[in-house]
Amino acid sequence: MTDTRSADELASSAPDTSNNRDIILQIDKVTKHFDSAYACDDISLSIHRGEFFSLLGASGCGKTTLLRILAGFETPTSGRVLIDGVDVTNVPPYQRPVNMMFQSFALFPHMSVIDNIAFGLKQEAISKAERNDRVREMMSLVQIEKLAGRKPHQLSGGQRQRVALARALAKHPKLLLLDEPLGALDKKLREQTQFELINLQQRLGITFIMVTHDQEEAMTMSSRIALMHEGRVEQVDTPRRIYEFPATRYAAGFIGLVNLFQGVVVSHENDQVLIECEELPGQLLVHHSQPLAVGMDVSVALRPEKIRVLPGNDNQPNRVNAVIKDIAYLGDVSIYHAEVASGKRIKFTLPNVQALAEQPLTWEQEVTLGWQGDSCGVLTL
Amino acid sequence: MRKRSTFLLTAMIMGYAFLYIPIFSLVAYSFNESRLVTVWSGFSTKWYAALLENDALLDAAWLSIKVAAINASCAIVLGTLAALALVKLKGKRGTRSLGVMVTAPLVMPEVITGLSLLLLFVAMETMLGWPAGRGQTTIILAHVTFSMAYVTVIVQSRLANMDQSLEEAAMDLGAKPLKVFFAITLPIISPALIAGWLLAFTLSMDDLVVANFVSGPGATTLPMVVYSSVRLGVSPQINALATIMISVVAIAVLIGGIITWRQEKRNTQRH
């Protein structure tokens, strides 16, 4: 990995409150297959105390199965799960120090809000007074004191989400598992709830593990993300590093927009790789510190916002002439699709700085695009 | 448009008339003063009074209610267990054919059910010494056999519609499987249990054919008494009895309907 930048620069958007040496959850070579299909394939992860960790992936990638293994609803075919150093692989769900917030919220329809929240505590040997205190504390934590006597069917989606959260937190679990926690909410409410969840997590210091298919949600909320694909972990990293330095082609393509160029390594000196691409007339000069063999097939990933429109082409590396073919106006930015001589299309974005100005570029306009050598990444997988 | 709605209205009235005129005439004639069932000679409640003094009929009614209640309670337990097994083991090998087999008594002709049970009870008595003779016990056993199938179907559909994550959530919160069943599953499927109980009760109250096969001396259910007394000529007492039974059934259906309606209202509010 290219790693010459300062640690500060790479810090995630959500502050990491974890103590890196303190591992609360260890997933050790966990494999799960249903009949012959692999849902999880040799997954190993270490999650630190106090982290907000996300399992991100498209549907069917095994993220939910992994979460269910952590909760104890599925037993792995092989491998171990350790919580706080204790092997819980074969411990039933009702004896694990773990609670889960379900995608459907799974509120008990025949119980009031207060009984839903108290349910977990009733399974423990604690006094009634203490139980009532804990329930009241949870209700004020998520601001639902006024809903105490209501039944779930009398609540809105957002209120149900809060009750489910309070119920899962009431037992002070070591891990809180969240299965698509915001999936059932509409967009506006989702954005607001994202920040509430982050604040809550930091206030309580409980380790959150969230499953989501929404990359934006994962980026906003997580201290680290494990990107999963076909039962395997593609990359585990902070949101910023996953975006800026994807480890694989899949990771680059899954999160955000990306231009991928296939090429061959021509030379590699002083951390500068020269790459010859069939699709591009010029060569690519990319900053890369890991060893690469000359003649090796690689991909270069380039994010659309890293590309600049330059005044003229002086035939240097990382420059290319192209013709604008498509423009998508998104409000804050516009996405341009420019075609180079080989027919390859390059996506780039420009912010719409002035409200009344015409588009800075128009259809069929010839432009020169350029980018910095340290703005793109070399992918070998 | 108008013509069509008149046609539909007529069709509807005809349909309901077809269903309810026999019942209403029966109810009306139960208040007939005359001894003859078909001749109206004035209003009277004397047949109801006579009914209260007819010990054979009252004993049979009491037996039927007892059999029906025990049957419904047993059928609920067994049917729920069968439904749980079928829903929880869904997808496992063999459960599909089990699911079909459990509903077989629904389509089996009653004569065959009755005869096969009679043969079974006789064979069991010879080999095991139980059930000794035929009577109340054998009627209950026979009724449970087919009522259970109905209960299974009702409870199974309710269980299949229940959100599986509710049980998982309870387990996740520290409840052991048995506790999950009694605290979460049972309350949620309770409308189906009530409906199943009422249906099993009604089926048992209603049954003549199977009971005729498996009952013995001293155990005569209400339908058996009604049937045999009608053969000797219909007494208006039977009308009075039928009226009472219809009222009881109507009330039961009404309660069942209200429960289902409330449940449905809650479901639609939720989504």
Over residues B239-259, the pLDDT tens digits come to: 888 898 888 878 877 887 887
Region B21-42: mean pLDDT is: 85
C-beta separation of A208 from A245 below 8 A: no
Region A81-87: mean pLDDT is: 93
Verify that A193 and A285 share a domain, yes or no.
no
CA distance linking residue A182 with residue B233, whole number of Å: 72
Instruction: Looking at A63-127, list the stretches that DSSP marks H as alpha helix, in order from N- to C-terminal side.
Output: 63-71, 113-122
Residue A164 lies inside a defined structural domain of this protein: no
Verify that A181 and A70 share a domain, yes or no.
yes
CATH number, domain containing residue A49: 3.40.50.300
* pLDDT score recorded for residue A14: 47
Residues A235-282 pLDDT 10s: 999 999 999 888 888 999 898 889 998 888 988 888 888 888 888 887
* pLDDT score recorded for residue A180: 92
* pLDDT score recorded for residue A42: 92
A124 with B170: Cβ contact below 8 A = no
CB-based contacts of A126: which residues, under 8 Å, 6+ apart?
Answer: A134
CB-based contacts of A72: which residues, under 8 Å, 6+ apart?
Answer: A88, A91, A92, A93, A96, A98, B172
Measured between CB atoms, which of A106, A123, A154 is closest to B174? A123
Q: Give the distance from CA A44 to its chain's centroid.
A: 17
Verify that A267 and A313 share a domain, yes or no.
yes
Verify that A208 and A316 share a domain, yes or no.
no
pLDDT grade for A93, boundaries at 50, 70 and 90: very high
Q: How far is A47 from chain B (nearest CA, A)?
A: 21
Q: What residues of chain B have any CB closer than 8 angstroms to a CB in chain A?
A: 163, 165-166, 168-176, 179, 183-184, 187-188, 266, 269-270
B183 chain-A contacts, CB cut-off 8 A: 119
pLDDT grade for B36, boundaries at 50, 70 and 90: confident
Backbone angles phi, psi at A25, to 5 degrees: -130, 125
CA distance linking residue A151 with residue A113, whole number of Å: 6
Measured between CB atoms, which of A99, A106, A171 is closest to B166? A106
Percent of chain A with pLDDT over 70: 93
Residue A31 lies inside a defined structural domain of this protein: yes
Bigger pLDDT: B98 vs B48 = B48
Residue A44 lies inside a defined structural domain of this protein: yes
pLDDT at B45 over 90: no
CA distance linking residue A332 with residue A293, whole number of Å: 41
B186 chain-A contacts, CB cut-off 8 A: none
- Count interface pairs A-B at CB distance under 8 A: 65
**DSSP character for B43?**
B
Measured between CB atoms, which of A93, A104, A124 is closest to B172? A93
CA distance linking residue B56 with residue B139, whole number of Å: 18
Question: Domain total for chain A?
Answer: 2
CATH number, domain containing residue A305: 2.40.50.140
Taking CA atoms, A284 is separated from A3, A241, A322, A358, B137, in Å, by 20, 22, 16, 32, 91
Q: Is A19 on the interface with B (CB under 8 A)?
A: no
Q: Specify the amino acid at residue B240.
A: A
* pLDDT score recorded for residue A316: 75
Measured between CB atoms, which of A103, A120, A152 is closest to B174? A120
B187 chain-A contacts, CB cut-off 8 A: 110
A71 with B169: Cβ contact below 8 A = no
C-beta separation of B209 from B221 below 8 A: no
Across-strand partners of A30? Answer: A43
Region B21-34: mean pLDDT is: 88
Residues A165-198 pLDDT 10s: 999 999 999 999 999 998 878 888 888 889 889 9
Residue A138 lies inside a defined structural domain of this protein: no
Over its C-alpha atoms, chain A yields an Rg (Å, rounded) of 25
Verify that A288 and A336 share a domain, yes or no.
yes
Q: Average per-residue pLDDT in chain B? A: 87
A95 chain-B contacts, CB cut-off 8 A: 174
Q: How far is B199 from chain A (nearest CA, A)?
A: 24
Residues A317-347 pLDDT 10s: 788 888 999 998 888 888 999 998 888 899 9
Residues B78-105 pLDDT 10s: 999 999 998 888 777 777 788 888 888 8
Listing from the earlier edge strand, what are the strands of the sheet with A319-329?
Answer: A308-310, A366-370, A319-329, A333-339, A345-351
Measured between CB atoms, which of B179, B184, B269 is closest to A108? B184
CA distance linking residue B132 with residue A320, whole number of Å: 99
Going by C-alpha positions, the residue among B201, B252, B190 that lies closest to residue B70 is: B201
CA distance linking residue B174 with residue B152, whole number of Å: 29
Interface test with B, best of A123, A126, A156, A180 (most B CBs within 10 A): A123
Q: How far is A94 from chain B (nearest CA, A)?
A: 4
A109 with B172: Cβ contact below 8 A = no
Backbone angles phi, psi at A211, to 5 degrees: -100, 130
* pLDDT score recorded for residue A5: 39
* pLDDT score recorded for residue A44: 94
CA distance linking residue B26 with residue A141, whole number of Å: 65
Interface of A with B in 114-173 (CB under 8 A): 119-120, 123-124, 152-154, 167-168, 171
pLDDT at B3 over 90: no
CA distance linking residue A75 with residue A187, whole number of Å: 35
Numbers of helices and strands, H then E, in chain B: 13, 0
Interface test with B, best of A74, A83, A94 (most B CBs within 10 A): A94
Query: What does the block give as tokens for B122?
Result: 């006789």
Residue A364 lies inside a defined structural domain of this protein: yes
Q: Specify the amino acid at residue A45.
A: L
Q: How far is B85 from chain A (nearest CA, A)?
A: 18
Verify that A197 and A70 share a domain, yes or no.
yes
CA distance linking residue B51 with residue B225, whole number of Å: 13
Q: Give the global pTM.
A: 0.81
Verify that A222 and A312 share a domain, yes or no.
no
Nearest-5° Cα angle at A135, A121 to A103: 75
Over its C-alpha atoms, chain B yields an Rg (Å, rounded) of 23
CA distance linking residue B166 with residue B12, whole number of Å: 43
B165 with A94: Cβ contact below 8 A = no
Query: What does the block give as tokens for A276?
Result: 């010859």
Residue A55 lies inside a defined structural domain of this protein: yes
Verify that A70 and A217 share a domain, yes or no.
yes
Q: What is the separation, in whole angstroms, between the first and last Cα of chain B?
A: 35
- Residue A145 has a CB neighbour count (10 Å cut-off) of 12
B266 with A99: Cβ contact below 8 A = no
pLDDT grade for A359, boundaries at 50, 70 and 90: low
Residue A354 lies inside a defined structural domain of this protein: yes
* pLDDT score recorded for residue A375: 84
Q: Which of A155-159, A358-362, B177-181 has the lowest mean pLDDT?
A: A358-362
A94 with B174: Cβ contact below 8 A = yes
Of the residues A193, A221, A252, the one at which a domain ends: A252
B172 with A167: Cβ contact below 8 A = no
Verify that A226 and A209 share a domain, yes or no.
yes
CA distance linking residue A183 with residue A312, whole number of Å: 47
pLDDT at A13 over 50: no
Of the residues A252, A286, A315, the one at which a domain ends: A252
Q: Is A193 on the interface with B (CB under 8 A)?
A: no
Of the residues A189, A217, A252, the one at which a domain ends: A252
* pLDDT score recorded for residue A131: 94
Measured between CB atoms, which of A93, A104, A168 is closest to B171? A93
**Where do the domains of chain B lie, and which CATH numbers do they carry?**
69-270 (1.10.3720.10)
Q: How far is B214 from chain A (nearest CA, A)?
A: 42
- Could you tell me the residue range of the domain that residue A342 belongs to? 257-379
* pLDDT score recorded for residue A229: 92
Taking CA atoms, B205 is separated from B57, B67, B200, in Å, by 14, 8, 9
Please determine, for the modelled complex, whether the ipTM score is greater than 0.85: no
Residue A122 lies inside a defined structural domain of this protein: no
Going by C-alpha positions, the residue among A125, A100, A208 that lies closest to residue B170 is: A100
For residue B131, say if its preceding peptide bond is cis, omega within 30 degrees of 0: yes
A73 chain-B contacts, CB cut-off 8 A: 168, 171
CA atoms within 13 A on the CB side of A141: 24
Q: How far is A177 from chain B (nearest CA, A)?
A: 11
Tell the residue number behind the tokens 């459960």, with chain if given: B95
**DSSP character for B32?**
B
Verify that A85 and A18 share a domain, yes or no.
yes
Verify that A335 and A372 share a domain, yes or no.
yes
pLDDT at B270 over 70: no
A100 with B187: Cβ contact below 8 A = no
Percent of chain B with pLDDT over 90: 44
Query: What does the block give as tokens for B207?
Result: 């049954």
Q: Which of A5-19, A24-38, B116-130 has the lowest mean pLDDT?
A: A5-19
B174 with A73: Cβ contact below 8 A = no
Verify that A240 and A262 share a domain, yes or no.
no
Going by C-alpha positions, the residue among A161, A124, A154, A117 that lies closest to residue A139 is: A117
Is residue A344 within a helix (H) or strand (E), and if so which, with residue range?
Answer: none
